[in-house]
Amino acid sequence: MKSRLPLKVLLAAPRSFCAGVTRAIQIVEACLEHYGAPVYVRHAIVHNEHVLREMEAKGVIFVEELSEVPDGVPVVFSAHGVPPSVVRSAEERGLPTIDATCPLVARVHQEAMRHHRSGCQVLVIGKKNHPEILGLLGYLPAKECQVIGDIEAAKNVQISMNQPVAYVTQTTLSVEDTGQIVKVLRKRFPKLIEPRTETICYATANRQKATRAIAAKTEAFLVLGSPTSSNSSRLTEVARQVGCEKVRLVPEPDELNLRWLDDVSVLGLTAGASAPEYLVQQLIDRLAQSRSLVIEEVSVTEEKIHFRLPIKRFPKTSQISISRSPTKSQHRQEGLYRNKHIALSQELHLA
Ligand code: SF4
């Protein structure tokens, strides 16, 4: 029998679902339980095709505009947030609404409005057409904010004389790239007002940190996640930035051609904040069919962050769990995992 070639897998931790994605999925699950199917969701609840297809199979209908929602039917707003105009239109039509906006996205809305109320021009660092930015811009008058997509935009942005300048960011940007943009803005506007708390979220920062910690030591790096996921795409960029030349974003485990790993003996693996952990385990199972795996989990921090469901809305379902919880890895059972923790745990307390 032909022996399988060894493959060392450096598995990044934290990876997969963040607290905001978990909460958004739980809200939709709770709506299905509470109202029954179909449940309408405005925009993809989270940016992962696999999650969306599973929800559709349970009776969830995703739409881009409220006009596609029939009268009298409840509608969920996605984790990325919506502009207030959408909330108003739903109210005018008498649609019951359930807001699954991540509390950390909502915190950026608050921060931006606070700056606007104090008379600042608000610079919004982010991707112009991303739903999170479209939602955020809805809170600010168009002439009082500008989107800064890259360093060039930061160099060229014009502000009226004497107006104070503040910035906020999309939650899922590259920490490094955003740092470069902020550096330019600080130089141009020495009195630049910074956010009170970091507006790139903990989950984005942690997944990038874990990728940064291992990608340079690997010959190839895989990120499980959808191309629509900003968080996942940024992880591929981080892996390349630290020197890994062979990097791929993989939406589904069976989309990976295993021949791609023929010349690889050390592989890095992670998943974006909207990609379920069971996809990681399925990919590992696939790899194990052709290679003899040694898995080392490299953890840069331990996340203990949870967001509560809107209790008033779902008094009896606040403890509902996601229907497909992460599979218990056979590899863990077989003792193939080795854990390496290189930082302390962190906690965040948000209602
Ligand atoms: S990536 Fe961050 S901001 Fe987005 S849903 Fe997750 S925790 Fe919230």
75-77 sheet: strands from edge to edge: 60-63, 39-42, 75-77, 97-99
Q: What is the pTM of this model?
A: 0.89
Neighbours of 108 (CB within 10 A): 27
What is the chain's alpha carbon radius of gyration, rounded to the nearest angstrom? 21
Q: How far is the CA of 262 from the centre of ligand 1 (A)?
A: 35
| CA gap 304, 200 in Å, rounded | 18
User: Model confidence at 323, in pLDDT bands (50, 70, 90)?
Assistant: very low
Q: Is 60 exceeded by the pLDDT of residue 149?
A: yes
- Find the catalytic residue in 91, 92, 111, 132: 132
The tokens describing 146, both together, are: 């500008």
Cβ atoms 237, 207 nearer than 8 A: no
Q: For the residues 108-112, what does the mean pLDDT come to?
A: 96
pLDDT of residue 161: 82
pLDDT of residue 225: 97
Q: Which residue has the higher pLDDT, 320 or 176?
A: 176
Known catalytic residue at 111: no
Q: Is 50 exceeded by the pLDDT of residue 324?
A: no
Cβ atoms 11, 300 nearer than 8 A: no
What 3-state class would DSSP assign to 74?
A: coil
Cβ atoms 281, 22 nearer than 8 A: no
Angle at 60 between CA 59 and CA 63, to 5 degrees: 140
**Domains in the chain, CATH or no CATH each:** 6-17+202-299 (3.40.1010.20), 104-188 (3.40.1010.20)
Q: Is 60 exceeded by the pLDDT of residue 348?
A: no
Contacts of 64 (CB under 8 A, 6+ apart): 42, 43
- Number of the ligand 1 atom closest to the C-alpha atom of 204: 1
pLDDT of residue 198: 86
337-341 sheet: strands from edge to edge: 247-250, 220-224, 266-271, 5-13, 291-299, 337-341
Q: Is 60 exceeded by the pLDDT of residue 82?
A: yes
Cβ atoms 206, 301 nearer than 8 A: yes
Window from 162-171, 254-263, 330-339 with minimum mean pLDDT: 330-339
Q: How far is the CA of 196 from the centre of ligand 1 (A)?
A: 18
Q: How far is the CA of 61 from the centre of ligand 1 (A)?
A: 22
**């199917």: which residue's tokens?**
37
Q: For the residues 96-106, what does the mean pLDDT come to?
A: 95
What 3-state class would DSSP assign to 274?
A: coil
Ligand 1 site, CB within 6 A? 18-21, 79, 102, 104-105, 171-172, 201, 203-204, 231, 273
User: Model confidence at 314, in pLDDT bands (50, 70, 90)?
Assistant: low
The residue to mutate among 101, 105, 198, 346, having the most atoms of ligand 1 within 8 angstroms of its beta carbon, is 105
| CA gap 213, 13 in Å, rounded | 10
pLDDT of residue 22: 97
Q: Is 223 exposed, middle or buried (0-12, 13-18, 19+ CB in 10 A)?
A: buried
pLDDT digits over 3-52, tens only? 889 999 999 999 999 999 999 999 999 999 999 999 999 999 999 999 99
User: Model confidence at 142, in pLDDT bands (50, 70, 90)?
Assistant: very high
Q: Is 50 exceeded by the pLDDT of residue 167?
A: yes
pLDDT digits over 181-198, tens only? 999 999 999 999 999 888
pLDDT of residue 265: 98
User: Model confidence at 313, in pLDDT bands (50, 70, 90)?
Assistant: low
Q: How far is the CA of 21 from the centre of ligand 1 (A)?
A: 6
Q: For the residues 78-85, what does the mean pLDDT come to?
A: 96
Window from 154-158, 227-231, 302-306, 329-333 with minimum mean pLDDT: 329-333
Q: For the residues 236-260, what does the mean pLDDT come to?
A: 96
| CA gap 113, 123 in Å, rounded | 12
pLDDT of residue 311: 63
| CA gap 128, 55 in Å, rounded | 28
Q: Whose CA is nearest to atom 7 of ligand 1?
A: 20
Window from 79-93, 107-121, 261-275, 305-319 with minimum mean pLDDT: 305-319
Percent of the chain with pLDDT over 90: 83
Q: How far is the CA of 229 from the centre of ligand 1 (A)?
A: 11
pLDDT of residue 196: 87
Beta-bridged to residue 122, according to DSSP, are 145, 166
pLDDT of residue 312: 66
In the chain, which ranges are continuous DSSP H helix? 19-35, 49-58, 84-92, 103-117, 131-137, 151-156, 175-188, 202-215, 230-241, 277-290, 330-333
pLDDT of residue 21: 96
Q: Whose CA is nearest to atom 5 of ligand 1?
A: 20
The residue to mutate among 16, 17, 18, having the most atoms of ligand 1 within 8 angstroms of its beta carbon, is 18
User: Model confidence at 2, in pLDDT bands (50, 70, 90)?
Assistant: low
What number of helices (H) and strands (E) belong to the chain? 11, 13
